[in-house]
Amino acid sequence: MTSISTNIALTFFLLLTLGHMVGDFVLQPYWLVLAKRKGWVGLVIHVGVVTFVTALLIWGVIPNWWVWVIVLFVLHLFIDQFRTFIFTDNSRGKGLLLLILDQLAHLLSLMFIAWAATGWVISDLAILFTPKANNQDRLIAYLIGLAALISAIPIFEAEITVAIWAAQGKETNQTVRIDTQDRWLGSAERIIAVIFILLGYWFIVPLVFIPRLVIMLRQDPAGEHRTAITTKVLTSFTSALIVGIILLNIPTPTLGF
Q: pLDDT of the chain along its 257 residues, tens only? A: 455 788 899 999 999 999 999 999 999 988 888 898 889 999 999 999 999 999 999 999 999 999 999 999 999 999 999 988 887 777 777 888 989 999 999 999 999 999 999 999 999 999 999 998 999 999 999 999 999 999 999 999 988 988 888 877 776 655 667 788 888 999 999 999 999 999 999 999 999 999 999 999 998 888 778 888 899 999 999 999 999 999 999 999 987 54
Burial class, 35, CB count within 10 angstroms (exposed 0-12 / middle 13-18 / buried 19+): middle
Please report the pLDDT score of residue 107 as a whole number.
97
Q: Tell me the three-class secondary structure of the chain, residue by residue.
A: CCCCCHHHHHHHHHHHHHHHHHHHHHCCCHHHHHHHHHCHHHHHHHHHHHHHHHHHHHCCCCCCHHHHHHHHHHHHHHHHHHHHHHCCCCHHHHHHHHHHHHHHHHHHHHHHHHHHHHCCCHHHHHHHHCCCCCHHHHHHHHHHHHHHHHHHHHHHHHHHHHHHHHHCCCCCCCCCCCCHHHHHHHHHHHHHHHHHHHHCCHHHHHHHCHHHHHHHHHCCCCCCCHHHHHHHHHHHHHHHHHHHHHHHCCCCCCCCC
Task: Tell me the C-alpha distance between 6 and 56, whole Å.
Answer: 21
CB-based contacts of 174: which residues, under 8 Å, 6+ apart?
Answer: 90
By C-alpha distance, which of 1, 5, 31, 14 is closest to 135?
14
Check the CA dihedral 164-166-171-175 and report its sign.
Answer: positive
Please report the pLDDT score of residue 3 as a whole number.
56
By C-alpha distance, which of 8, 6, 5, 11 is closest to 137?
11
Domain spans, the chain: 6-127, 146-248
